[in-house]
Chain A
Amino acid sequence: MLEVVLRSLGVLAAFLVLPLVVGQTEHKVMAHMQGRLGPMYAGGFHGWAQLVADGVKFVQKEDITPRAADRWVFKLAPAVALVPYLVALAVIPLSATVVAADVGAGVLFVLAASAVGILGLLMAGWSSANKYALLGGMRAAAQLLSYELPLVLSVASVALAAGTVSLTGIADAWHPLWLVWQLPGALVFLIAAVAELQRPPFDMPVADSEIVMGPFTEYTGLRFAFFLLSEYAGIVVMSLLFAVLFLGGWRGPFSGVLGPVWTLLKGALISVLIIWLRVSWPRLREDQLQRLAWLVLVPLALAQLALTAGWVVLSSP
């Protein structure tokens, strides 16, 4: 019982720290890519406490539920968007032994858990009784469904290559040659993950210059902050998942001792890449987005699947 409590608290601590680290990294990386400083005041050293200050500010903001809104659905939506990423984080291994809950079918569990977050967006979009929110919710639903598919297919390719659906098993079976063999699948996964997170260039659901803030238009204060937090938690989950599936997780020099460090470093690299994409690419149009998913990513993922399965069958005795 104590062990369950300690493990849960460990996951909660990681969940509260890692997204803030990613958020601060985004502040600074974006600022320097755009030739400016970013927040420099809060906390003294290079504005490290800016996000903590933001959190304190959000807590003190008035929480407004519009009169026309579906009250309970509206109020619960932020929790439904946030908690699934916490659960997904619990089963991602940092090394063969450092994992909060080593479930057997970890790959399926992560995909299923992180897909629940979509419901939170839909709930927010529908319950707000706001036209922008409704449009944003529809866009979010269509986008997340379309990109779920290439994501699942590329993960299935890795599972085929490893011959197991356990996350620790996949990282154990990983070989440096996978960097070439699984490269198309890795690219598909990365693009689909950015789209699942609704990060630029795939941020049509919250496109602020078109539909204000999409499903989050009516939200204020802490509930709004929870949606933002869920976005950064999503970056953490997807980056670590990429590191474990495609980059060998804890493989590296002295992996016996430094295993978790390697996983976190590889995940951090992917996080920076996701931030970089935001700075470099303009937003896609809604129809271009759907075409990219169905006519480029899905066929590419299926081709990767054929390549993986063919090679596995040919090479096994």
Chain B
Amino acid sequence: MSPYLTVGGVVLAGVLLFVAAMGVRRVLAPRAPTAAKLTTYECGVDPVGEGWAQTNVRYFLYAFLYVVFAVDAVYLFPWATVIRSPDLGPASLAEMGIFIGVLLVGLAHAARRGLLRWV
């Protein structure tokens, strides 16, 4: 039997758990919405403007950095299964070293240009 069948069953169990819990809540919890209750929470005062606030664009830089390295990480796992073969081992080690070395230079460059500093 494929283990992925069980994975599918577990996903279904998770969905059922959420649906069942929400059903129980619907039966047990009170429902009395008022206009004041449905306003956005801002520590008790009336909300100012919309929910969209200015955030630091810096957050996106981490996403870019992550994408670069995530590609590298994907290749590491198949490598784990072939590194012990005598004809691929040393050659693949050198190639991986060059590959990750290039990425490291990129990270060092980003750090030197102040990308990892907050202000």
Contact = CB atoms under 8 A, between A and B. Distances in A.
A129 B118 CA distance: 26
Given A159-B80, A164-B80, A305 B39 contact: no
Do most interface residues of chain A lie in helix, strand or loop, or is the interface mixed? helix
A163 B83 contact: yes
Contacts of A212: 41, 43
B31 interface: yes
Q: Which of A107, A135, A139, A313 has the most CB of B within 10 A?
A: A313
Given A7-B9, A312-B83, A62 B50 contact: no
Interface in B16-31: 17-18, 21-22, 24-25, 28-31
Interface string B35-53: 1011111110001001111
Main secondary structure of the interface of B (DSSP, over half): helix
Contacts of A134: 51-53, 55
B118 A286 contact: yes
12 contacts: A4-B1, A12-B17, A62-B32, A90-B7, A128-B40, A129-B50, A132-B41, A139-B59, A148-B66, A159-B76, A162-B80, A212-B43
Nearest to B49: A131
A118 to B, nearest CB: 11
Contacts, number: 217
A21 B51 CA distance: 37
Nearest to A109: B7
B40 A103 contact: no
A5 B8 CA distance: 10
B105 interface: no
Given A66-B40, A101-B3, 10 more contacts: A7-B9, A8-B13, A11-B10, A68-B50, A79-B14, A109-B7, A129-B51, A138-B59, A145-B62, A312-B83
B8 to A, nearest CB: 8
A103 B10 CA distance: 13
Interface of A: 3-5, 7-9, 11-12, 59-68, 78-79, 82-83, 86-87, 90-91, 100-103, 105, 107-109, 128-135, 138-139, 141-142, 145-146, 148-149, 152-153, 156, 159-160, 162-165, 212, 217-218, 221-222, 226, 286-287, 290-291, 294-295, 298-299, 302, 305-306, 309-310, 312-313, 316-317
Contacts of A142: 59, 62-63
B98 interface: no
A184 B66 CA distance: 21
B111 interface: yes
A302 B72 CA distance: 11
Nearest to B82: A163
B102 interface: no
